[in-house]
């Protein structure tokens, strides 16, 4: 006997579609997803799903933002676990790399979908939780009298380091070694010491 899939009503279809989409993306090597197939999986009409996501791009954009937010939550938790400060900020970078290695398709989706990043933005809604953690860490670690240009350079320095390291690992250029990642990230001191 086939179990009936739950039907979704009103506001929870959006959340259910995000959850199902995230699950499907995690199982793919190269992220791709169709609205009609997702609607079938959720047991709803494509028309119902189109009310929440007018096209495939809108769905993929929402999944990318959800990925950034999940990454940011992991980063914040890791930073908090070591008590914040420079050690916490280092954990934000270390967590970026380990999360990327654990979620390669999602990381690729994020950077396929996220356009040009405003390195000066400092709100969660502008750039998701992960970028917010990066900017908040830079702001907390740098002296108050540092110029916006210097803060932006520091942000780009940190992001380039961890994203570059993650991509080297994901592209098979170097093996993932958690201890080595920690050493590399800690060695640079994020340009802040």
List, in order of start, the domains of the chain with CATH numbers. 12-54 (1.10.10), 60-191 (1.10.357.10)
State the CB neighbour count (10 A cutoff) for residue 7: 12
Average pLDDT of 4-30? 76
By CB atoms closer than 10 A (0-12, 13-18, 19+), residue 171 is exposed
Per-residue pLDDT, 192: 52
Average pLDDT of 157-167? 93
Least confident of 55-64, 76-85, 112-121, 148-157: 112-121
Task: Say yes or no to pLDDT of 2 above 60.
Answer: no
Distance of alpha carbon 91 from alpha carbon 188, whole angstroms: 13
Distance of alpha carbon 179 from alpha carbon 33, whole angstroms: 35
Cβ pair 63, 18 in contact under 8 A: yes
């Amino acid at each position: 006997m086939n179990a009936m899939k739950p039907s979704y009503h009103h506001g929870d279809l959006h959340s259910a579609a995000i959850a199902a989409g995230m699950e499907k993306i995690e199982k793919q090597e190269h992220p791709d997803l169709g609205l009609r197939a997702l609607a079938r999986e959720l047991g709803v009409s494509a028309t119902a799903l189109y009310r929440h996501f007018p096209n495939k791009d809108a769905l993929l954009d929402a999944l990318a933002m959800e990925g950034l937010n999940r990454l940011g939550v992991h980063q914040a938790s890791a930073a908090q676990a070591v008590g914040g400060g420079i050690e916490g900020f280092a954990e934000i970078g270390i967590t970026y790399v380990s999360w990327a290695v654990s979620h390669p398709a999602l990381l690729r989706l994020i950077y396929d979908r996220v356009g040009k990043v405003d390195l000066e933005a400092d709100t969660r809604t502008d750039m998701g939780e992960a970028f917010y953690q990066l900017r908040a860490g830079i702001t907390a670690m740098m002296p108050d009298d540092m110029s916006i240009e210097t803060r932006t350079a520091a942000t780009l320095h940190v992001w380039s380091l961890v994203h570059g390291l993650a991509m080297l690992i994901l592209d098979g250029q170097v093996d993932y070694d958690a201890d080595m990642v920690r050493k590399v990230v800690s060695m640079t001191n994020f340009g802040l010491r």
